[in-house]
Structure 1
Amino acid sequence: MNFYFHDLEKNYFNRFQEDAFHHKDARQRLTEFKETLTKFTHFSNLRPLASLSYAKEFVVHNIVSSIEFDKDAEFFAIAGVAKKIKIFDYAAVVKDSLGINYPVNEIDCTSKISCLSWNSYFKAMMATSDYEGSVILWDAFLGKKLSVYQEHEKRCWSVDFNRIDINLVASGSDDGKVKLWSANMDSSITTLTSSANICSVKFNPASLYHLAYGSADHRVYYYDLRNTRSPLTVFKEHRKAVSYVKFLNRHELVSASTDSQIKLWSTEAPPSCRRSYTGHLNEKNFVGLTANEDYI
């Protein structure tokens, strides 16, 4: 607690200033601070529940590029450069005490997979992006391709389903383009053009129209798709390529960069960097990132 006292003190007084503006009473402020303190002290260590092998050969070339849960958090998929997608039953993986876990389905792909995303409504629908620039929609449990989109000119790094419009998919590529796709159409419906490679693209989970992407030009761009001529906001404080962007909620997103920092941004006016997280020692590789309301 002594080590983190400065952070906790700053958190409390920030709440004090906000509450003075919003005219909250001290009891409510203390209750909210108690919740923060509880979350902070709830966990003290991590322990592995299971170890899964993505490929038979344990070499660097079999990197796992993406791990994502389905809409009910019952199944999760892992994919990477070994040109395979493996689907696992989470409950079975955690329950198995012998450490021998077999996937419920294994899909062989023709290219290295860079990213995957599950549909928030159709349980079996999954999208992937790959090193050939393709975006593919799958039936994850049948291992069947539903649609293949091949408009990107270079490696496609990222793909994401919109949570509001369940047929809308976004992808970002080394060709400096973010493309929007509809599961009901054969070609892209909109293209955002950037001067640098696109490393990560993510929809705002509470919005049909808002999207963020991280770029090799060290910036995070936040767009309203109803006006694609220019971004709503450009966040500029990273010093190297932004490898991932993820939303915590409607108004906050986090970004990871190869500068070894993770930053928390507010999209509310005025847009700002609320906090920087350091600790990773990173030379060139992407640092994986996932987030929810409480934790990063």
Structure 2
Amino acid sequence: MEHVAGVLKELRTGAAGLARLGSTEGGEGDAASALRREIADLADSSVVRDAVDVHYPCAEMQCSHKISCVSWNAYHKSVLASSDYEGTVSVWDAATGQRTRALMEHDKRCWSVHFNRADVRLLASGSDDARVKLWSLNAERSFNVCCVRFNPRSSCHLAFGSADHCVHYYDLRAPRRALAVLKDHRKAVSYVKFLDAHTLVSASTDSQLKLWRVDSPRCVRSFTGHANEKNFVGLATDGTYVACGSENNALYVYYAGLSRPLLTYRFDAARPFLPAAGPPPPAGGAGGAERREDEPAEFVSAVCWRRAPHAPALLAANSQGTIKVLELV
């Protein structure tokens, strides 16, 4: 029995005791079997106790800056939010350890973040920039706004174009939901202009202008002919005609009732005052009239109507700083 007591004492010091005891010699038969079962039970309980005493995270999320505050969502059990010293509010999925959203609207260190328990979609944050910001988790992804325009006959109706390829029309007295979202462009909407209180025209980098009625989601007409894929080329209307610039250094004028251009005016290519350094042009070549490959392409960048009943005119400017006043005759 002294031998058994010594073995049990050794077992309690670690799992190694069990391995050594497995090779113990003896002919006790049933007593030895009972002893081995007892030792196995003791080893199992020792392992369980050791596991409880070791603490480790079930998930880990990596943030690039010091964290100032965290908040769990009361309904979505795997969703939590954090704020950091750089002013970023992050929303995390604890089940996967991935950040699902990064809200970087604060200008300074963000100290606090908290989920609303009554409406679990809402999240509030406070920062050293003296701002408290309210976020909605079920809001669609945000996009850059490229242009805004008030309805000329209303103090509370506003249209804007954005990088989501849409024109949004709002009543500012009820801003939670748009009155209309006009979808037909294939790229970012760069300009919006009203022809009257119920009609507007939009420009996009898909090389199209589109005519809309604010009470209908359908496009009334598309205007094509100009080139616009990457620059802001200007848009203007007098209520009947629509003018825009183009990336071929030309001005285009459309009639609101026709899809093709009514007239065009091309700017002359700018010529440098001093000849560019390099070998002379070949005999018979165009010389300085040709644009080098490394020079940026010229384009019409701004247009504006002068509204005069007897002398309508267009003001147009291009990317080289040339401004022209064009009279319609």
Q: Which has the larger radius of gyration?
A: 2
TM-score with structure 1 setting the length: 0.49
Q: Which has the higher contact order (CA 8 A, sep 6+)?
A: 1
